[in-house]
Amino acid sequence: MPLSSCESSAARYDSVLVQPLSWDIPSLQELWLGESTDDKHLRIMVLLQCFNCYDDDDNLLLNQTYVQPRFLVLCLVLRLYHTLLHLSFNINMKYVC
């Protein structure tokens, strides 16, 4: 009996590459409840790291002359959409060839 689309997608999983952080892990107190400028900067660093957009050497997303803070989340979502679209295109092309 063939599996339904729900059952077949539940059995599939994606592997994730684990990468170490290049900075100290913040405490929950700093991350959630801190009100200083450093704590706000730390929250943005963690958000960028979650989207795999944080680079120690040259991070243009943190530079407010390139990306205004009000557009940061929009840029992250667009980058994620572009990455997933590109990944999906590459996967589909692999099955065509």
Whole-angstrom Cα Rg for the chain: 18
Residue 30 confidence class, pLDDT cut points 50, 70, 90? confident
The answer to whether residues 53 and 79 touch, using CB atoms and an 8 Å cutoff, is yes
Kindly state the average pLDDT of the residues 74-95.
Answer: 74
The amino acid sitting at 45 is M
Residue ranges per domain, the chain?
Answer: 24-96
Q: Is the pLDDT of residue 43 over 70?
A: yes
CA distance 40 to 27: 13
Which of these ranges, 8-12, 62-66, 73-77, has the smallest mean pLDDT?
8-12
The percentage of residues in the chain with a pLDDT greater than 90, rounded to a whole number, is 0
